[in-house]
Amino acid sequence: MLKISNLNAYYGDVQVLYDVNLEVNDKEIVTILGSNGAGKTTLMKTICGIETKRSGVIEFQGENLMKVPAHKLVTKGITLAPEGRHLFPELTVKENLLLGAYAFKDKRKINDTYDWVLTLFPRLKERLIQYAGTMSGGEQQMCAIGRVLMSNPKFLMMDEPSLGLAPNIVDTVFDVITKINKEKGITIVVVEQNANIALQTADRGYVLENGVIGMSGSAQSMLESADIQKLYLGL
């Protein structure tokens, strides 16, 4: 579904990604591990066209995205749940969710997706008229995920979905990740520092080190890797 070849990306004149090669197959869950500053968020933003100083090839379902503007990617089925949630705090939960469907006109489909999102996150149904900025971190993360799901993505990227959440909420979030992958066939890429739960959820994984892919393989093989255990699992 996604193929990245020799991707380089920059912040200003500073290079962050170096000849990154990466593939994601249809209906997979792939996790990208790495320490702070490794380039994980830059990779997500570069795929979305937010970081525009870049070279290489990003193909989605055979189409080269390098010249496609960021605002057109959502209608192609590509979405990002960003690190830090970035909700509109002075809008209600319902308003934040519906903004995720802003680019679409099929009201019946929007309503069906809205109902589905509320079945995934029953807590949001109880807080539809509450301002998003007044909710707990876990509730805000649910709202952020729900908002991107409102666009009916084919390819969903999630940047640090467990950041700042209590362990029981982390479990809930990753249960939902598995559910939307299995029920809807949505392909998912998860950028995550919690390597244990990420690899337990994923089919395959990559390790990004200082802007370079340092390791890749099946999730199980990475869980069993001595290097992964030492660097990311604390074993």
For the domain made up of 1-77+154-163+185-235, the CATH class stated in words is alpha beta
Alpha-carbon span 16 to 14, nearest angstrom: 6
Is residue 235 predicted with pLDDT exceeding 60?
no
* 156-165 pLDDT tens trace: 999 999 988 9
**In the predicted structure, residue 32 carries a pLDDT above the cut 80:** yes
- Provide the percentage of residues in the chain whose pLDDT is more than 70: 99
d(CA 77, CA 152): 7
What phi and psi, each to the nearest 5 degrees, are found at residue 131?
-65, 135
pLDDT digits (tens, 9 = 90+) for 175-227: 999 999 999 999 999 999 889 999 999 999 999 999 999 999 999 999 999 98
Q: What is the mean pLDDT of residues 71-75?
A: 90
User: Average pLDDT in the 129-141 region?
Assistant: 95
Average pLDDT over residues 128-134: 96
> What is the identity of the amino acid at 52?
T
CA distances to 33, 195, 196, 200 from 220, rounded to whole Å, are: 14, 12, 11, 8
